[in-house]
Chains A and B, each alone.
Chain A
């Protein structure tokens, strides 16, 4: 093997390792979200919408 071919092989192998590591890091890192997706169903009980609305007891 010539010196040039040896350097080529080392470079290719090095790049493959870097690419693999990058892929692993990306997969292992948590997915980031600002906006969340909706859900089809509410997890609690659902009540009927009223016709009139009163003043709340809550602050704000």
Chain B
């Protein structure tokens, strides 16, 4: 009797049914003889030394350097992906470093990194590598940061959050239509992941890339800000990021500074305390101000910290506690 060897990957909401010899949508989780295998475990294709502000994380160890890694593959296929050369690549076409979790943590220790970022593509697709490394890193007093689209099922997400300290999670749009058309995904699981992350107690910052004509309407931005305020809290930092024509979306212009400024105004009107502009040079859009007394707390120019007045996690003038991990 012939028994089917199809497997179902239950890591992300795509729930891929994978035939023998085939991979899931992410390209890196493969059915080999009826067993699901990850082909990128211990093989990052990118390892870099980045400023934490580049993630972007503005409320987590400002001014620190972070060892940043990624493997090939992604479970989303955003038409505007800025890292498509690795995220939409097959592992067989992507050279990688042999670096199992133990070695990666050892490198971070030797080079005095205070944290490791699982970033660039999406740590969800190299879930096992991320989890095992993060667990070891935590034992070595190294913190773990995720930069992710948050497209993951609740059970594995909860487990991963146990070993993570901070995350920047994309909220790419606020409509199902946007997620379906631009990202080949759905909105609801991302919202659930955001709520779970915030409830878990880790530091959460949110990024919204504003794409002209697709998600740049004032009412869409307002709805997104309201959702963040109601579900994640007004203290959750929100980064509006500038779009550049990339990958399969080269026909649209870059986002204007005016649009980003309007988005910031809307976010503040809606009661968000920490709103930032990214991917563009702006005079004040990267600075942190005290939500109560409006004092300048951190001045940033690109990825450089010019001033940091936060004292013991509080505003030095009015004593307001500032959301974040400061040391």
Contact = CB atoms under 8 A, between A and B. Distances in A.
Interface of A: 27-28, 30-39, 42-50, 52-56, 58-60
A56 B48 contact: yes
A30 B17 contact: yes
Contact of A38 (B41, B48, B279): B41
B34 A32 contact: no
Contacts of A46: 43, 95-98
A44 B92 contact: yes
B50 interface: yes
A47 B48 contact: no
Contacts of A56: 46, 48, 50, 54, 68, 120
Given A36-B36, A38-B38, A58 B86 contact: yes
SS of A interface (majority): loop
A31 B34 CA distance: 7
A48 to B, nearest CB: 7
A37 B51 contact: no
Nearest to B44: A49
A60 to B, nearest CB: 4
B11 A34 contact: yes
A35 B46 contact: no
B203 interface: no
Interface of B: 3-11, 17, 29, 32, 34-43, 46-51, 54-55, 67-68, 70, 72, 82-83, 86, 90-99, 103, 107, 111, 117, 119-120, 127-128, 147, 153, 155-156, 168, 279
Contacts, number: 136
9 contacts: A31-B5, A31-B6, A31-B8, A37-B35, A37-B37, A47-B96, A58-B86, A59-B82, A60-B54
A27 B127 CA distance: 27
A44 B95 CA distance: 6
A27 B5 CA distance: 9
Contact of B47 (A32, A33, A50): A50
B95 A53 contact: no
Contact of B7 (A32, A59, A60): A32
Contacts of B42: 38
B110 to A, nearest CB: 10
A42 B120 contact: no
Given A34-B156, A44-B92, A60-B120, 6 more contacts: A34-B153, A38-B41, A38-B128, A42-B43, A42-B96, A43-B39
Contacts of B48: 53-56, 58
A54 B54 CA distance: 13
Query: Would you list the 6 A-B pairs with minimal beta carbon distance, nearest first?
Result: A56-B48, A33-B36, A59-B82, A53-B49, A30-B6, A36-B38
Contact of A36 (B4, B37, B67, B95): B37
Nearest to B104: A49
A58 B67 CA distance: 13
A28 B41 CA distance: 29
Contacts of A52: 49
Contacts of B153: 34
B83 A36 contact: no
Contacts of B32: 39
A32 B49 contact: no
